[in-house]
Chains A and B, each alone.
Chain A
Amino acid sequence: QQPVQSPQAVILREGEDAVINCSSSKALYSVHWYRQKHGEAPVFLMILLKGGEQKGHDKISASFNEKKQQSSLYLTASQLSYSGTYFCGTETTDKLIFGTGTRLQVFP
């Protein structure tokens, strides 16, 4: 039931791009993305409510393929501040189940 994220970890140099994928075995109503820095609480990034919807926030954007029950998070021209663990959250009824997480490290 827990959505699976890939890759598990990513190492980037500043300015490089990355894609994080989130897949669910169940039909999805929506997908949510969060970033968590070490020792801190998760921070909500964005929610995608419709199949095919794409959203962006600064240089971070996401897409949602309802038919494939997948979502992807795109990080463009990564910055040092992007480092952290990214979680997708998938809503199946009125509760959110978090994914396995992807650890992203950005180096100068």
Chain B
Amino acid sequence: NAGVTQTPKFRILKIGQSMTLQCTQDMNHNYMYWYRQDPGMGLKLIYYSVGAGITDKGEVPNGYNVSRSTTEDFPLRLELAAPSQTSVYFCASSYSPQPQHFGDGTRLSIL
């Protein structure tokens, strides 16, 4: 089983550029999440989704957008990248409102 797959694994962006972090899961989970983790810190919830067509903000949504057109996919969009968005981004999914399956993460640097 693939589980939760995130792409890309690494990316360097210039300030002001935009990009989409991809996340797909093959477990038919309704709940999906995006977290960011700054060095030496815990995970902060950016956005989450309880099913296709439904998304909601987490703790730190500013500067990000999401969509959930299918059960499998939950892409995270960064508009006008800023140095403060340098972080490791984790996507997660679950049958219940608690993330239990995480992807390997996307390491993003903005210079």
Q: How far is the CB of A96 from chain B (nearest CB, A)?
A: 5
Q: Is A76 an interface residue (CB 8 A)?
A: no
Q: A42 touches which one: B43, B48, B50, B56 (CB < 8 A)?
A: B43
> How large, as a class, is the contact surface on chain A?
20 to 34
Which residues of A from 74 to 108 have beta carbons under 8 Å from B? 87, 89, 91, 94-101
Given A41-B90, A41-B103, A42-B90, do A98 and B44 touch, yes or no (CB 8 Å)? Answer: yes
| A94 contact from B42, B50, B101, B104, Cβ within 8 A | B50
Known: A95-B45, A98-B44. A41 touches B105 (CB 8 A): yes
Q: Mark the stretch among B12-20, B62-70, B72-80, B92-100 that contacts chain A.
A: B92-100
Binding site for A on B (CB under 8 A): 33, 35, 41-45, 48, 50, 56, 58-59, 90, 97-105
